[in-house]
A and B are shown apart, each in its own frame.
Chain A
Amino acid sequence: MTVRGKKKIVIRMDADLADEFRKHIIDKYGTIHALSVVFERIIKEYLFEVEHEVIP
């Protein structure tokens, strides 16, 4: 994280997908508090793939 701090993002997601994602986080980390950290990691990986044209 830089000195510029954090920015809040609000998204709307299909309820079933949201439930599945929520369950995944709770199963893996034991709490929903890891949500933002996981989101940040997913976005970073995605941007890296886009930038480097990585084929998954």
Chain B
Amino acid sequence: MTVRGKRIFTFSIDSDTAEEFRGHIINKYGTIHALSVEFENIIKSFLKGRKKRFTPLAQEKNRIWQKLRSIVDRMEDEGFTSQILETDLIRIIKEKAGVDRRTVNNRIALMKDMKIITGEIVSPSGMRIYDLDLNPMNMKTRKMPEILIEHM
């Protein structure tokens, strides 16, 4: 452990798997208190042996993120004041990506919509640029996790 300490992770898993895992920990260590230690070991070996493969949607989001970042950088260079605000941009992304799209074809349509959104940002009329935290995480929407799960 580093000096940075520990971080708490909360997640939900299928109750049968949870019970099985709990039983495994108790059998192995005689107590459930070893849960976090065992998890750390599992995650360590997972990260060690991971292969970098991206889902198409993640690739697309990363690409859009890069593009947005470069736009904001350019606007800042041109003297725009940085402000953290809920922008029209975020609202548009939420509205567009929040549309219920389930089929493969529609998922492609969603990506195309997102491209259109980046086009709207570039357009000079009525443009409002803020110092957005353009992490792909912040482009989350209610429907996005479902779409990602379908990809897995």
The binding surface of chain A is classed by DSSP as helix
Q: Please determine whether B14 and A27 come into contact, CB atoms closer than 8 angstroms.
A: no
Note all chain B residues with C-beta closer than 8 A to A19: 7
- B65's nearest neighbour on chain A, judged by CB, is A30
Minimum distance in angstroms from A29 CB to a CB of chain B: 5
With known contacts A24-B50, A33-B144, A13–B7 Cβ distance under 8 A: yes
CB pair B152–A37 under 8 Å, yes or no, is: yes
Chain A proximity mask over B125-142: 1 for CB below 8 Å, otherwise 0: 000000000011101100
Within 8 A of A (CB), among B1-35: 1-2, 4-21, 24, 35
Structural contact, B35 and A47, CB atoms closer than 8 A = no
A30-B136, A32-B137 known; A37-B149 Cβ under 8 A: yes
Of residues 20 through 40 on chain A, the ones whose CB sits less than 8 Å from some CB of chain B are 20-21, 24, 26-37, 39-40
Using a CB–CB cutoff of 8 Å, the interface residues on chain B facing chain A are 1-2, 4-21, 24, 35-36, 39-40, 42-47, 49-50, 52-55, 57-58, 60-62, 135-137, 139-140, 144-145, 148-149, 151-152
